């Protein structure tokens, strides 16, 4: 830690002058408070205040046209929790989130294992794979809408016209296909960050462990199971939780690609909140449904936080980093 | 140097080819569409690359006129002025939000990364929680508050709500960066006669510019790429950013080629930033800063 003993103080040039106040007189805790004060004020105004406000809203019936509110107690929550629409969108959210996580983790781990190999063009590919991450979610939605398009889509051009795998154009965004198709698009965008993170972890695995695995005659799978997995287990769970939260928050992709449809096949909680709040202008009810989503993401985030903090010293990936610094 | 052809090498190159196609093809298709006339796009079988590439979709977005394949003048893009205004708004908002974010987030990230204090864990948890807060849940109270305070459809209103996205993100990234600097820096700075604040401001900050540049780039990207807030709080207003302007174009009329061109324009700044910073993004831990 930073030394705070008086010996590190500069010798005052003029003892007669009263010493000016300086941050050096503060302890760690006081200086930290000073530094965190601005962020507490700003986040208090733009996050905490609206959050509490939305809690209040969820107990009101709000009429935007007349600008009136009426306290209705738990009516909004009762309505939400007994609404088949809300439960449907909870199910869609869970399915969508699970699919995005599975797809993205598979891409991230596969890509990282590949980029950890030695081959020509590796540097180029490594620089290139970040590209989807830089593409915003709404642009990702536009990109994939045109990939899936039955009229001029790339996938139909290849699958149907070139390979003849289908008689007519395939409707990817159909009632059954919409959620998986959206999940693929989202996974495409979100996977690169996980890939970089897993790759960084793979690169701290000591070379000796691979050599030992060779001596023990372990195959590719054995190497993955006994050498790689212990290292990437915790980082991978962290990536998974992050992706899960991102997927549960999805909005842009639904807005651009399906509008929650066909019917309500891809109506996630976020889309339900959007529709209730800003299409039906039922802000109190929308706020109540939003709180259901917040509870869901808060649970996931708490798991994430505990993962980061728990067993820190036992993690091989951190132990290696700790020695280096 | 020639290497022997082993099954493992074949597999590696096949996987590399697959990853390349997976990464690039979706964007390639958008680019290809943006360089076609609509008549070519609608031809069957679908052309995988434009036979007569044209930049008319781009020039018309910026107010130019162009001659189509049949020798007739192509219609004006009705949303072009809105798209241009949106680009400008996006730029103004992204720059102001990033500047404000840095001023607020850097000190706290320094405290979280290098000082031991009570409430550090609680602070980190609060930051992670704000990071995972669903934007759609954030925007519900903002919509109501803005509709009553006149901040709806204003650049100011958007700047304020964008801070809820950028501050937690930048604090997260910079906490990781500051904690990776050598532990002895402050002690040395203090021996040289700096106060605690000066050690941070005059010594730590200047030596952290690589991390700060990445954090600023990420903050810029978050604002540039944001859609939901602008759509819900400013769609159709003069403060509307680029993405909602694009969505109007996407849903109102069927102009896929012009739409593809506009989307490519949206992708260019983030792609450049990602390319410039990819090495740093890889070394900087965006996921686990502790």
Of A132, A142, A249, the CB nearest to B134: A249
Q: Helix/strand/coil (H, E, C) string of A72-133?
A: CCCHHHHHHHCCHHHHHHHHHHHHHHHHHHHHHHHHHHHHHHHHCCCCCCHHHHHHHCCHHH
Burial of B290 (0-12, 13-18, 19+ CB in 10 A): middle
Distance CA B147, CA A159 (A): 49
Q: Looking at the domain that runs over A79-324, which CATH code has it been given?
A: 1.10.3720.10
**Distance (Å) from the alpha carbon of B67 to chain A's nearest alpha carbon:** 23
**How many Cβ atoms from other residues are within 10 Å of residue A313's Cβ?**
7
Put residue A116 in one of left, alpha, beta given phi > 0 → left and psi -120 to 50 → alpha: alpha
**How many Cβ atoms from other residues are within 10 Å of residue A59's Cβ?**
17
pLDDT confidence tier of residue A42, bands split at 50, 70 and 90: very high
Is A119's Cβ below 8 Å from some Cβ in B? Answer: yes
Query: Average pLDDT of chain B?
Result: 87
* pLDDT for residue B1 is more than 70: no
Query: Looking at residue A19, what is its pLDDT?
Result: 61
* pLDDT for residue A83 is more than 70: yes
Residue A84 CB contacts under 8 Å (≥ 6 apart), including other chains:
none
Query: Looking at residue A132, what is its pLDDT?
Result: 92
Section A155-164 average pLDDT: 80
**Distance (Å) from the alpha carbon of B203 to chain A's nearest alpha carbon:** 14
Q: Report pLDDT digits (tens) over B55-109.
A: 888 988 887 777 777 777 777 777 888 888 999 999 999 999 999 999 999 999 9
Are the beta carbons of A54 and B137 closer than 8 angstroms?
A: yes
Interface test with A, best of B201, B231, B282, B290 (most A CBs within 10 A): B282
* pLDDT for residue B273 is more than 80: yes
A contacts of B261 (beta carbons < 8 Å): none
DSSP β-bridge partners for residue B73: B67
**How many Cβ atoms from other residues are within 10 Å of residue B262's Cβ?**
28
* pLDDT for residue A163 is more than 70: yes
Cβ distance B117 to A8 less than 8 Å, yes or no, reads: no
Token pair of A187, please?
């996974």
Query: Looking at residue A2, what is its pLDDT?
Result: 47
Query: Looking at residue B287, what is its pLDDT?
Result: 57
Query: Looking at residue A234, what is its pLDDT?
Result: 78
Section A115-137 average pLDDT: 90
Distance CA B240, CA B247 (A): 11
Percent of chain B with pLDDT over 90: 44
pLDDT confidence tier of residue A1, bands split at 50, 70 and 90: very low
**What's the sign of the alpha-carbon dihedral B185, B186, B187, B188?**
positive
- Token look-up 């009632």 returns A175
Distance CA B146, CA B133 (A): 19
pLDDT confidence tier of residue B280, bands split at 50, 70 and 90: confident
Question: Which residues 216-275 of B are in CB contact (within 8 Å) with A?
Answer: 221, 224-228, 231-232, 243, 246-247, 250, 256, 259-260, 263, 266-267, 270-271, 273-275
Distance CA A105, CA A112 (A): 10
* pLDDT for residue A322 is more than 50: no
Of B128, B226, B250, the CB nearest to A301: B128
Are the beta carbons of A159 and A147 closer than 8 angstroms?
A: no
Query: Looking at residue A12, what is its pLDDT?
Result: 47
User: Which has the higher per-residue pLDDT, B127 or A18?
Assistant: B127
Domain spans of chain B?
7-61, 80-283
Q: Report pLDDT digits (tens) over B225-240.
A: 999 999 999 998 999 9
Q: Which helix (H) or strand (E) holds B36?
A: none
pLDDT confidence tier of residue B220, bands split at 50, 70 and 90: very high
Domain spans of chain A?
79-324
A contacts of B182 (beta carbons < 8 Å): 325
**Distance (Å) from the alpha carbon of A86 to chain B's nearest alpha carbon:** 15
Are the beta carbons of B173 and B218 closer than 8 angstroms?
A: yes
pLDDT confidence tier of residue A318, bands split at 50, 70 and 90: low
A contacts of B128 (beta carbons < 8 Å): 301, 304-305
Question: Which residues 69-108 of A are in CB contact (within 8 Å) with B?
Answer: 107
Are the beta carbons of A235 and A201 closer than 8 angstroms?
A: yes
User: Which has the higher per-residue pLDDT, A246 or A231?
Assistant: A246
Distance CA B244, CA B217 (A): 22
A contacts of B125 (beta carbons < 8 Å): 305
Is A210's Cβ below 8 Å from some Cβ in B? Answer: no
Query: Looking at residue A15, what is its pLDDT?
Result: 46
Query: Looking at residue B193, what is its pLDDT?
Result: 86
Q: Looking at the domain that runs over B80-283, which CATH code has it been given?
A: 1.10.3720.10
Distance CA B169, CA B215 (A): 8
Q: Report pLDDT digits (tens) over A169-205.
A: 788 888 889 999 999 999 999 999 889 888 888 888 8
Query: Looking at residue B3, what is its pLDDT?
Result: 58
Cβ distance A138 to B243 less than 8 Å, yes or no, reads: yes
Burial of B180 (0-12, 13-18, 19+ CB in 10 A): middle
Distance CA B42, CA B254 (A): 12
* pLDDT for residue A18 is more than 60: no
A contacts of B137 (beta carbons < 8 Å): 54, 273, 290-291, 293-294
Query: Average pLDDT of chain A?
Result: 84
Q: Report pLDDT digits (tens) over B116-155.
A: 888 888 888 888 888 888 999 999 999 999 998 999 999 9
Is B50's Cβ below 8 Å from some Cβ in A? Answer: no
Q: Report pLDDT digits (tens) over B40-60.
A: 888 777 788 888 888 888 988
CA angle B203, B209, B112 (to 5 degrees): 70
Are the beta carbons of A47 and B141 closer than 8 angstroms?
A: no
pLDDT confidence tier of residue A319, bands split at 50, 70 and 90: very low
Distance CA A264, CA A267 (A): 5
Distance CA B215, CA B173 (A): 7
Query: Looking at residue A314, what is its pLDDT?
Result: 57
Question: Which residues 99-158 of B are in CB contact (within 8 Å) with A?
Answer: 103-105, 107-108, 110-112, 114-118, 120-121, 123-126, 128-130, 132-138, 140-145, 147-148
**Distance (Å) from the alpha carbon of A44 to chain B's nearest alpha carbon:** 10
* pLDDT for residue B283 is more than 70: no
Query: Looking at residue A323, what is its pLDDT?
Result: 33
Cβ distance B104 to A248 less than 8 Å, yes or no, reads: no
Burial of B48 (0-12, 13-18, 19+ CB in 10 A): middle
**Distance (Å) from the alpha carbon of A176 to chain B's nearest alpha carbon:** 22
CA angle B211, B216, B218 (to 5 degrees): 95
Section A239-268 average pLDDT: 91
């Amino acid at each position: 830690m930073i030394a705070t003993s008086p010996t590190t103080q500069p010798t005052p040039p003029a003892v007669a002058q009263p010493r000016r106040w300086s941050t050096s007189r503060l302890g760690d805790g006081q200086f930290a408070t000073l530094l965190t004060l601005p962020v507490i004020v700003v986040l208090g105004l733009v996050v905490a205040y609206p959050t509490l406000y939305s809690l209040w809203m969820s107990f009101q019936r709000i009429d935007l046209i007349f600008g009136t509110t009426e306290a209705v107690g738990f009516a909004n929550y009762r309505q939400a929790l007994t609404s088949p629409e809300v439960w449907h969108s909870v199910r869609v959210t869970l399915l969508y989130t699970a699919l995005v996580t599975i797809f993205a983790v598979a891409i991230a781990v596969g890509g990282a294992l590949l980029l950890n190999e030695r081959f020509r063009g590796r540097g180029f590919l490594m620089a290139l794979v970040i590209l989807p991450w830089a593409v915003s979610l709404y642009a990702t939605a536009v990109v994939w809408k045109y990939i899936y398009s039955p009229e001029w889509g790339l996938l139909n051009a290849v699958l149907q016209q070139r390979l003849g795998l289908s008689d007519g154009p395939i409707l990817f965004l159909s009632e059954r296909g919409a959620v998986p198709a959206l999940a693929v698009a989202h996974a495409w965008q979100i996977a690169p960050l996980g890939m970089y993170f897993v790759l960084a972890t793979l690169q701290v695995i000591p070379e000796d462990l691979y050599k030992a695995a060779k001596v023990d005659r372990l195959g590719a799978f054995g190497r993955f199971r006994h050498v790689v997995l212990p290292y990437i287990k915790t980082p991978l769970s962290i990536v998974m939780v992050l992706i899960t939260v991102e997927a549960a928050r999805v909005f842009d992709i639904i807005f651009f690609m399906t509008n929650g449809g066909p019917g309500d096949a891809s109506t996630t909680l976020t889309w339900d909140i959007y529709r209730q709040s800003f299409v039906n202008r039922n802000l109190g009810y929308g706020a109540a449904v939003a709180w259901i989503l917040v509870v869901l993401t808060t649970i996931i985030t708490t798991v994430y936080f505990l993962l980061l903090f728990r067993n820190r010293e036992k993690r091989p990936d951190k132990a290696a980093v700790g020695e280096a610094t | 140097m020639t290497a022997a052809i082993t099954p493992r090498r074949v597999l590696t190159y096949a996987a590399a080819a697959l990853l390349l196609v997976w990464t690039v093809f979706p964007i390639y298709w958008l680019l290809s569409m943006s360089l076609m006339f609509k008549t070519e796009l609608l031809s069957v079988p679908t052309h995988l690359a434009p036979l007569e590439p044209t930049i008319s979709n781009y020039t018309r977005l910026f107010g130019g006129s162009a001659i189509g394949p049949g020798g007739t003048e192509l219609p004006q893009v009705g949303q072009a002025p809105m798209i241009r205004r949106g680009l400008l708004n996006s730029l103004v908002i992204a720059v102001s939000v990033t500047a404000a974010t840095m001023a607020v987030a850097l000190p706290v990230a320094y405290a979280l990364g290098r000082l031991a204090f009570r409430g550090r864990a609680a602070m980190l948890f609060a930051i992670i929680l704000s990071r995972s807060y669903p934007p759609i849940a954030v925007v519900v109270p903002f919509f109501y508050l803005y509709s009553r305070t006149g901040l709806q459809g204003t650049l100011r209103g958007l700047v304020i709500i964008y801070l809820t996205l950028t501050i937690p993100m930048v604090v997260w990234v910079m906490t990781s960066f500051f904690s990776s600097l050598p532990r002895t820096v402050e002690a040395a700075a203090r021996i040289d006669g700096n106060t605690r604040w000066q050690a941070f401001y005059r010594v730590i900050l200047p030596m952290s510019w690589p991390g700060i540049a990445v954090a600023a780039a990420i903050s810029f990207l978050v604002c540039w790429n944001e859609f939901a807030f602008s759509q819900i709080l400013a769609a159709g207003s003069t403060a509307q950013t680029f993405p909602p302007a694009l969505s109007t174009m996407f849903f109102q009329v069927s102009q896929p080629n012009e739409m593809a061109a506009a989307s490519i324009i949206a992708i260019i700044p983030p792609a450049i930033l990602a390319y410039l910073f990819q090495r740093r993004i890889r070394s900087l831990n965006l996921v686990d800063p502790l």
